[in-house]
Amino acid sequence: MLSKIACIFPGQGAQYSGMGKEIAENYEVAMSIFEKAGQILGIDMKKLCFESDEDELKKTENTQPSILTTSIAVLEVLKLRGFRPDMTAGLSLGEYSALVASNAIKFEDAVALVRKRGKYMQEAVPPGEGTMAAIMGLGKDAVDHCLKMVNGYGIVEAANYNCPGQIVIAGHTRAVEKACQILKENGAKRAIMLPVSAPFHSSLLKGAGEKLSKELEKVEVTEMKIPVVSNVHAQSIKDKYEIKQLLIDQVSNSVLWEDSVRNMIGQGADCFIEVGPGKSLSGFIKKIDKDVSVYNVEDIDSLEKTIEAIRERVA
């Protein structure tokens, strides 16, 4: 099987003040993406990404469009430098970046959608009533078994299957706290409460998905130019008619990231490039398969290193 390059995009939690600044200051094509996002949303996207403090960036309705904008700005620079991936995927919010990369959704539509997505997800559960936790050192079956033991405390579900030994759970705060206790008693190395404002990717967010569906009705979706692997079923999306429903389902369903990566490896991907802020996905992939090459691009230094590595592959 021919070796292929997969382009992957980060989700919420990857944000940091100053993200995209160096790339934008060195490449006009990147700066224009930040300016375009600002015009569409009526906010100063450059100021939000380049200068805002962590508290401002942590607001979900700011986090989601700022990460997507940074990711697409970096992607545009990679395209300018001659990079073309063979397939793509993104973690949660990152799936919107992947769909933009595949030409299925216009950037202008995606950035407006994710701002509303962030707002709807934030509003779905009253503050303090829902949360998430990262569980380290237990496999899928063990985590699923322990979650069934949390009866009478509320809803708690697996939200993200990130990589071997790391699963994120989400649900009612009391239920998540009880689940952490049971999981540690049953062999989890660590159970860490996450600083999030809502139980993302749990059934508690179905209402947010319903609101998002009304916004998706207004968006034109076109055929993908490169394959996109979906979070919901960890398979390549068959055609454009499947995309909207998958984005609705994604809000309240588990993110099957480990399975998605294994699917891409099965399709021949032996090089993964994380495009956008942070290196969290790179870390997951190294735990999923130590034999694949992994790079990230978020600033000039990482851009040049990755471009050089790609050139060596095709030389």
Is residue 24 within 8 A of residue 77, CB to CB? The reply is: no
* pLDDT value at residue 147: 96
Nearest CA to 121 among 198, 58, 234, 33? 198
* pLDDT value at residue 198: 87
* pLDDT value at residue 312: 87
Q: Which amino acid is at 222?
A: T
Q: Which of 92, 202, 252, 302 is catalytic?
A: 92
Rounded to whole angstroms, how far apart are CA atoms 217 and 46? Answer: 29
* Top-level class of domain 130-196: alpha beta
Tokens representing 151 are 């009866």
Q: Which amino acid is at 193?
A: M
| Residue that the structure tokens 């499947």 belong to | 242
* pLDDT value at residue 54: 86
**What's the pTM value of the predicted model, to 2 decimals?**
0.96
Q: Count other Cβ atoms within 10 Å, centred on residue 122.
A: 18
Is residue 153 within 8 A of residue 170, CB to CB? The reply is: no
- Is 32 annotated as catalytic? no
- Return the SS3 of 237: coil
Residues of the chain with CATH 3.40.366.10: 4-124+204-314
Q: Which of 172, 201, 254, 302 is catalytic?
A: 201
The reply to whether CATH 3.90.550.10 applies to domain 4-124+204-314 is no
296 beta partners: 274
pLDDT in tens, the chain (315 residues): 568 999 999 999 899 999 999 999 999 999 999 999 999 999 999 999 999 988 888 888 899 999 999 999 999 999 999 999 999 999 999 999 999 999 999 999 999 999 999 999 989 999 889 999 999 999 999 999 999 999 889 999 999 999 999 999 999 999 999 999 999 999 999 999 987 878 999 999 999 999 999 999 999 999 999 999 999 999 999 999 999 999 999 999 999 999 999 999 999 999 999 999 999 999 999 999 999 999 999 999 999 999 999 988 876
- Is 92 annotated as catalytic? yes
Residues of the chain with CATH 3.30.70.250: 130-196
* pLDDT value at residue 3: 84
